[in-house]
Amino acid sequence: MASNDERFKHINFKAVARMLTIVENDLKGTEQTLRNLEFKKNVQVIGITGPPGAGKSTLVNDLLAELTGKNLKVAVLAIDPTSPFNFGSLLGDRIRMAGHYNHPDVFIRSLATRGSLGGLSAKTIEMTDVLRAAGFDYVLVETVGVGQSEIEIAGLADITLVVLVPEGGDEIQNIKSGLMEIADAFIVNKADREGADLFANNLKKMVQQKDTIIPVFKTIASQNNGIKEIVDYITLPSESKNGRRELLLAEKAYQLIQQKRMAGINKNTLLKRIKTRLSDPDFNLYDFVAQTLTELND
């Protein structure tokens, strides 16, 4: 990628897409490409996570409208669930963001989790850095809605927004500390539904028990209601809203090292090996796992 400042005025979306494909598929030149990335701007990465049906994609669509209205360039990585059968993406967030698909200041890319349990693709960190180096003002990462296991987002995002809905009111006391710790702000979406005010108030009380007050926003994303307040929050000038740069970088390093450690193993590979081994009447899953781990250590 060019290193001059003109790059930030006119981003070559085709070049960015090609580079993302190279990195995502770990093609020849990936490592050197990543090591040569130049970060000329302080680009904020915004993580958006929460349970299925919370309206994350609709919320992202509204955020895009608000941010581009400020003449900002925005990239979106939409992390979709992976089919356990063909290992492809099950959802198409680009369809739900169709209104911005051809916007000159918006780049949207969907990718599959490929078996990652925490809601992030193994390549998300690297692809996010490609987008940061490309010169976007903000990178939005919408993660798979698998609930409380989405702690991995803390290692990626400067700001993490956790989206909830009023129907989760009975479960609010069961929110694990991990989710509370990763949230820089909570968003109660679909706030026009019954019980929304009570849910938001209870959430605020929980947050106020912490040393740091975490904002709680109420939105109706389907009506673009409450979005401006969220944009005002994430566009506040700050390197990181929670001052945890060291934690973020350490978590990134951990994920990248883990990814390289498991480079030879993925679900597709395991599926093929299982099919071969199942012909053995004495097949034992635990023997299979132990043998696989031994091969990784060699």
Q: What is the pLDDT of residues 254-292, one digit of tens each?
A: 777 877 777 767 777 888 889 998 988 888 888 888 888
Residue 85 has pLDDT above 50, yes or no: no
Do 209 and 293 lie in one domain? The reply is no
Domain count, the chain: 2
Do 50 and 185 lie in one domain? The reply is yes
Highest mean pLDDT among 14-18, 25-29, 198-202: 14-18
Residue 243 has pLDDT above 60, yes or no: no
How distant, in Å, are the alpha carbons of 58, 114, 218 from that of 88? 22, 8, 34
Token pair 């979005």 is found at 227
Do 255 and 293 lie in one domain? The reply is no
Do 191 and 248 lie in one domain? The reply is yes
pLDDT tens sequence across 123-181: 888 899 999 999 999 999 998 655 444 566 766 888 989 899 987 655 555 565 556 66
Mean pLDDT for 242-265 is 72
Containing structural domain, residue 88: 5-260
Do 137 and 157 lie in one domain? The reply is yes
Do 116 and 201 lie in one domain? The reply is yes
Of 64, 58, 79, residue with least CA distance to 143: 79
Do 95 and 137 lie in one domain? The reply is yes
Do 269 and 239 lie in one domain? The reply is no
Cβ contact 24:123 at 8 Å: yes
165 φ, ψ (degrees, to nearest 5): -130, 155
Rounded-to-10 torsion of CA 55, 60, 65, 68: 170
Own/partner contacts of 113-116, CB < 8 Å, gap of 24 or more, are: 113/79, 113/80, 113/81, 113/82, 113/144, 114/82, 114/87, 114/266, 114/267, 115/82, 115/87, 115/266, 115/267, 116/152
82 φ, ψ (degrees, to nearest 5): -100, 135
Output the CA angle 93-126-85, nearest 5 degrees: 50
Do 186 and 289 lie in one domain? The reply is no
Q: For position 172, which CATH number holds?
A: 3.40.50.300
Do 143 and 288 lie in one domain? The reply is no
pLDDT score recorded for residue 246: 74
pLDDT tens sequence across 30-50: 888 898 888 888 899 999 988
Cβ contact 14:3 at 8 Å: no
Bridging pattern class, strands 138-142 and 44-49: parallel
What band does 67 get if pLDDT is binned at 50, 70 and 90?
very high
Q: How many other C-beta atoms lie within 10 A of the C-beta of residue 232? A: 10
Residue 91 has pLDDT above 60, yes or no: no
Rg (CA), the chain: 20
